[in-house]
Structure 1
Amino acid sequence: MSATATIADIAARAGVGTATVDRVLNKRPGVNAETVQRVLQVVAELGSPPQRGRPRKGANFRFAFVLPAEPSPFVELVDRLIAQAAGEFRHQHITEVTHRLATTDAVQFSAELAQLADCDAVAVMAPDLPPVKLAINELVRTGVHVVTLFSDVAGSMRETHIGADNRAAGRTAGLLLGRMAAGSRDTLLLSSQATRLSAEIERRIGFAQVVEERFPKLKVLRTPDLPADDAGASRALLRFLRGKGVDVGRVAGIYNVGSGSAGVARALESLALTGTVGVVAHDFTDEHRALLGNNGLAYVLHQDIHYCISTAARVLRALCENVRGALNVVQPRVEILTAENLH
């Protein structure tokens, strides 16, 4: 075997993709027996290539964290916690680079994501759209390990998803608000932004499921898509609540699955409904801490963000080092925070 032979050399000789060779060499499932035999025969002829991702003296693993560029309290918190974990990463011989990519144009997002092929591994929070799936698949084919973070891209070749069970989170919100409904207040509102993040879509599904199953007498109204900024969300929700066909006196609670929770609370305050209409939101940001304290939110559903970031790095490093059991990941629990149990 030539000293410069690579996985790409084996793939070309065997007539398969580099991802297939990687799966065969690392004994991962998903390759039929005939292809496995063909790859192993080429390996026998050329010899095994250097294992990608093996620790190199004097060089760190290069990992990319990819987050949406659009501002939101949650993404800003994630970005900040990644930066704070830099020291932890250095001890693990990881050099981290965070990229903020605009999600408004899926094709452009995918093109920029594809440019990260020089990294050893990527953790990505991205919209669940076909161009993004193709970009993830191409990264994997070139030998980059990819995991999704907080929001999954199902059907892609990503190696695992790290984050809470969002459908269970939505069901939890439905259970909390359903139990708050009483008497004539028999209507729950479901609000969100126009989104292609599967995390938010799964939350909506879980919420609708549990209300239908456990509170069949309650009515769920979907608000129009709210702007992501608080001021825009407040104005849009007020227009909806003041419009025809909405009896505010029957609204027991609002589940806001994404950004704009402060705007939702502001709209309710302007209608003198603070404390009367319960609001459930996600993620324990500084803004949500304040809203819990002044009764603007009834509950905040939270996942351990630092755990998810650290787990993503740990899993990606283990994959690079071909550690057995690298994909054994424990999902973070969905915590229910109230004004009484803030920490």
Structure 2
Amino acid sequence: MGHAFRIREIARQAGLSEATVDRVLNTRGGVRPDTTAEIHRAIADLERQRTQVRLTGRTFLVDLVMQTPERFSAAVRRALDAELPLLRPAAIRVRYHLRETGTPDDLVTTLARIRRRGSDGVILKGPDVPDVVQAVDDLADAGVPVLTLVTDLPGSRRAAYVGIDNQAAGATAAYLISQWLGDRPGDVLLTLSRGYFHGEEQRKAGFRAALGDRSVVEIDNSDGLDRTMRGLVERLPAGDLAAVYSVGGGNAAIVEAFGAHRPVFVAHDLDADNRRLLREGALSAVLHHDLNQDVRRACHLLLRIHGALPGPVVSMSSNIQVVTPFNVPLPPDRPHAEAAP
């Protein structure tokens, strides 16, 4: 395995012992396949981040912990990859703990392992349940600051929240749908990934409060995954639905389940699926916030906590941008504009 990193460096990135890393690098066996895969991922992460580290002095090791569809975690990783080199002379190296599904207990186990191994900070997207709140408080007791991203844990001792104002986002979706529908009859479909995410509950509360008397059909526990969402939506009488507010994703599956029926459709996040659906006219609007700005703010807050940057440690809300098929921002990896439909 060719690389230019010391065993100690790989072990710290992977969160494993130096002895385990040594066994894998020297192919001595006796290591589980998933542990071997973690070491390979750690080396790949080090390779990707090495340019930034080479240009800097002090290095901070941060853990990104997310339960979210891969399309969103991939977008956060891309944003971090773009922002980390801009932080010099400080350097942040990231360990990734990403899952699409799982129980809160799985997340608690991950946070407990980070606490035992040590970290300069955790950026967390997780459910707002008592055990996760306690795990965050335990990290704070151990001197590991936690920043919540996109969805908050307001009852915990997290250091700050970074992300969209979710209640305002839900109210914005209700306003758009109400304007488009006018007096047209029909119910509104509201879809969530998991109701225990505080951000999704805030979006739902803002939406219902601003929508008025129109009837709402709600779907939960989809994990925002197409394979789950499709089965849930196919059970509904699509013709009775005049609009959709997708809080948690799985939008391609919703569109496929509706077939030729095209309701007013408001969704979140400019991932590849939503860009395509906007171009095809399947989505009416996407509520977008700048992920690069979010992760940049999170990194700056961690540096402030450690005294590497001046300034207060306070929660920061992202601006909500209403994106239609005619004003889609350029994706960061494409130099040319996308044509409107």
Q: Provide the C-alpha distance between the structure 2 equivalents of 1:115 and 1:227, rounded to a whole number of angstroms.
A: 24
Q: Is the 8 A contact 1:103 1:127 kept in 2?
A: no
**RMSD across aligned positions (CA):** 2.2
Corresponding letter in the other structure for 1:207? F
When residues 337 and 324 of structure 1 are mapped into structure 2, their CA distance, relative to the original with a 3 A threshold, is: same
Q: Which moved more, 1:310-319 or 1:228-237?
A: 228-237
The one-character-per-residue Cα deviations of 1:81-121 (angstroms, maximum 9, x if unpaired) are 22333423454222222222565221231121122231111
Q: Is the 8 A contact 1:224 1:240 kept in 2?
A: no
Q: Which moved more, 1:280-289 or 1:189-198?
A: 189-198
Secondary structure class of the residue paired with 1:104: coil
Secondary structure class of the residue paired with 2:326: coil
- Provide the residue aligned with 1:238 in structure 2: 234
Select 1:311's aligned residue among 286, 297, 312. Answer: 297
Corresponding letter in the other structure for 1:109? L
C-alpha displacement at 1:225, in angstroms?
4.5
TM-score by length of 2: 0.74
The one-character-per-residue Cα deviations of 1:143-193 (angstroms, maximum 9, x if unpaired) are 112111111112100011001100110010011111122344242221223
Q: Provide the C-alpha distance between the structure 2 equivalents of 1:278 and 1:182, rounded to a whole number of angstroms.
A: 11
When residues 209 and 75 of structure 1 are mapped into structure 2, their CA distance, relative to the original with a 3 A threshold, is: same
- Provide the residue aligned with 1:110 in structure 2: 108
- Provide the residue aligned with 2:261 in structure 1: 273
Q: Which moved more, 1:308-317 or 1:98-107?
A: 98-107
Q: Provide the C-alpha distance between the structure 1 equivalents of 2:221 and 2:95, rounded to a whole number of angstroms.
A: 33
The one-character-per-residue Cα deviations of 1:121-144 (angstroms, maximum 9, x if unpaired) are 111111111111111111111111
Q: Provide the C-alpha distance between the structure 1 equivalents of 2:215 and 2:92, rounded to a whole number of angstroms.
A: 50
Q: Provide the C-alpha distance between the structure 1 equivalents of 2:65 and 2:194, rounded to a whole number of angstroms.
A: 20
Secondary structure class of the residue paired with 1:85: helix
C-alpha displacement at 1:254, in angstroms?
0.7
When residues 207 and 72 of structure 1 are mapped into structure 2, their CA distance, relative to the original with a 3 A threshold, is: farther
What 5-or-longer segments of structure 2 have no aligned partner?
1-55, 330-341
Percent sequence identity is: 27
Secondary structure class of the residue paired with 1:134: helix
Q: Is the 8 A contact 2:266 2:284 kept in 1?
A: yes
Secondary structure class of the residue paired with 1:75: helix
Select 1:93's aligned residue among 91, 94, 107. Answer: 91
Q: Provide the C-alpha distance between the structure 1 equivalents of 2:209 and 2:251, rounded to a whole number of angstroms.
A: 22
When residues 278 and 110 of structure 1 are mapped into structure 2, their CA distance, relative to the original with a 3 A threshold, is: same
When residues 262 and 64 of structure 1 are mapped into structure 2, their CA distance, relative to the original with a 3 A threshold, is: same
Q: Is the 8 A contact 2:161 2:316 kept in 1?
A: no
Q: Provide the C-alpha distance between the structure 1 equivalents of 2:314 and 2:196, rounded to a whole number of angstroms.
A: 27
TM-score by length of 1: 0.73
Q: Provide the C-alpha distance between the structure 1 equivalents of 2:264 and 2:284, rounded to a whole number of angstroms.
A: 5
Corresponding letter in the other structure for 2:200? E
Secondary structure class of the residue paired with 2:317: coil
